[in-house]
């Protein structure tokens, strides 16, 4: 190879190694709804004052919904004057459109709960009042809507519906909690009912379902007000239902599946449970339980074979197969978290944000900073997309540059 060509090739290789491997964030909890992303090219530590804020937007109304980021647009939801809205921003923080999507939740802790799901050129949202709707993702125009409380006899719950719709092929799946219709599948193009969970009439419990393929079976696992269930995602057939009653009927954390184990966790002293799944997921039996990791609504992450999540005191590392607690530390305290390229982004309920590394024997805090804008509870989950950290605190959306320099 000529010397000049060799030099150019080396420069390209070096540049490629430092380029951010970008990724959108189309669902609640990330690319595959697990709270984990493999996006690369990000900062491995932050300045003392935190990463540079690119922009902020105040005016989202009330809410705790997280964000989705797809094809150059950022979506979230909020409630203003008793009406729920979807907001779409460009990557510079400019509001592109704002679309009403029905009555907002005005009960206890008023505001939006659910994060939009984006699938192609369509956006799907379920409101705190139980309306599931499909909108044009570029313009916000409503395409169809279904009032699940009216159509399926769904019963609202103490703090309002709080799941983010799950898309599977031609189906959009949600949990209205009606008679013979705890879980339903609708045609994502029209809103027409495809199936309901016959024989399953438990109420919703703030949980976004998990979709898993085990052998020939495609299964849906979710937590309801008084049970944990496994369904066939193609037909809605209920394979199994395990009684699971917790205080206040809050089962807000999506289950996790790994190595034949279905892992669930609840707050209010219930803790975590591992279930052994057999016969390709159609049978379920309790294997272990432990009260240490009693996650409330901040989500858990499966990373390198371990479960990471927050209890009421701090952060825990737990083996999902045996239930053994490997270690726990306070860090930012109770909160939500995601894992991107092997590092944890932890957001505490007092507004502290931390970049954390998990070692075999403990957590290592790399950097911290404080979220000072916004109002009310620090409950919205963090989002990382295309080299930007997005944070939402009440009525304010913030974007931070975390690309490696």
User: Angle 201-205-76 (CA atoms, 0-180°, nearest 5)?
Assistant: 125
Distance CA 235, CA 213 (A): 14
CATH-assigned architecture of domain 65-112+114-205: Beta Barrel (2.40)
Residue ranges per domain, the chain?
Answer: 18-61+298-405, 65-112+114-205
3-state secondary structure of 402: coil
In order along its 405 residues, the chain shows pLDDT tens digits of: 443 333 333 333 333 333 334 689 999 999 999 999 999 999 999 999 999 999 999 999 999 999 999 999 999 999 999 999 999 999 999 999 999 999 999 999 999 999 999 999 999 999 999 999 999 999 999 999 999 999 999 999 999 999 999 999 999 999 999 999 999 999 999 999 999 999 999 999 999 999 999 999 999 999 999 999 999 999 999 999 999 999 999 999 999 999 999 999 999 989 999 999 999 999 999 999 999 999 999 999 999 999 999 999 999 999 999 999 999 999 999 999 999 999 999 999 999 999 999 999 999 999 999 999 999 999 999 999 999 999 999 999 999 999 998
How is domain 18-61+298-405 classified at the architecture level of CATH?
A: Beta Barrel (2.40)
Cα distances from 385 to residues 65, 72, 115, 120, in angstroms, run 16, 10, 15, 17
Residue 43 tokens read as 């900062």
- H or E element: which one contains 99? strand 95-103
Taking each continuous run of H as one helix and of E as one strand, the counts in the chain are: 2, 33
Which DSSP string do the residues of 292-324 spell out, in sequence order? S----SS--EEETTEEEEE-SSSEEEE-TTT--
């Amino acid at each position: 190879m000529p010397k000049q060509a060799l030099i150019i090739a080396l420069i390209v290789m070096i540049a490629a190694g430092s380029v951010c491997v970008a990724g959108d964030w189309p669902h609640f909890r990330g690319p595959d709804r697990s709270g984990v992303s493999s996006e690369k090219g990000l900062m491995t530590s932050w300045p003392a004052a935190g990463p540079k804020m690119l922009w902020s937007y105040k005016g989202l109304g009330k809410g705790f919904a997280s964000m989705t980021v797809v094809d150059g647009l950022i979506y979230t939801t909020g409630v203003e004057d008793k009406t729920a809205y979807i907001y779409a921003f460009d990557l510079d923080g400019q509001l592109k459109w704002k679309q009403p999507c029905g009555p907002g939740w005005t009960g206890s802790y008023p505001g939006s709960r659910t994060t939009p799901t984006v699938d192609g050129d369509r956006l799907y949202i379920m409101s705190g009042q139980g309306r599931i709707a499909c909108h044009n993702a570029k313009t916000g125009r409503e395409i169809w809507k279904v009032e699940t409380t009216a159509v399926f006899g769904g019963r609202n719950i103490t703090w309002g519906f709080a799941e983010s719709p799950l898309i599977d092929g031609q189906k959009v799946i949600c949990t209205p909690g009606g008679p013979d219709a705890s879980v339903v599948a609708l045609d994502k193009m029209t809103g027409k009912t495809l199936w309901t969970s016959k024989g399953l009439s438990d109420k919703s419990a703030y949980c976004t379902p998990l979709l898993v393929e085990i052998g020939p079976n495609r299964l849906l696992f979710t937590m309801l007000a008084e049970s944990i269930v496994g369904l066939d995602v193609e037909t809605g057939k209920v394979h199994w239902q395990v009684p699971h009653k917790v205080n206040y009927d809050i089962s807000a954390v999506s289950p996790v599946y790994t190595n034949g184990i279905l892992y669930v966790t609840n707050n209010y002293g219930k803790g975590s449970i591992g279930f052994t799944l057999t016969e390709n997921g159609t049978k379920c039996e309790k294997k272990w339980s432990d009260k240490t990791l009693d996650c409330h609504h901040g989500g858990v992450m499966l990373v390198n074979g371990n479960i990471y999540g927050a209890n009421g005191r701090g952060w825990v590392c737990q083996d999902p197969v045996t239930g053994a607690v490997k270690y726990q530390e306070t860090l930012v305290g109770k909160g939500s978290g995601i894992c991107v390229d092997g590092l944890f982004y932890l957001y505490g309920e007092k507004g502290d944000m931390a970049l954390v590394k998990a070692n075999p024997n403990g957590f290592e805090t790399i950097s911290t900073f404080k979220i000072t804008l916004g109002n009310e509870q620090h409950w919205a989950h963090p989002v990382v997309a295309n080299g930007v950290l997005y944070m939402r605190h009440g009525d304010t959306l913030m974007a931070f540059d975390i690309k490696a320099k």
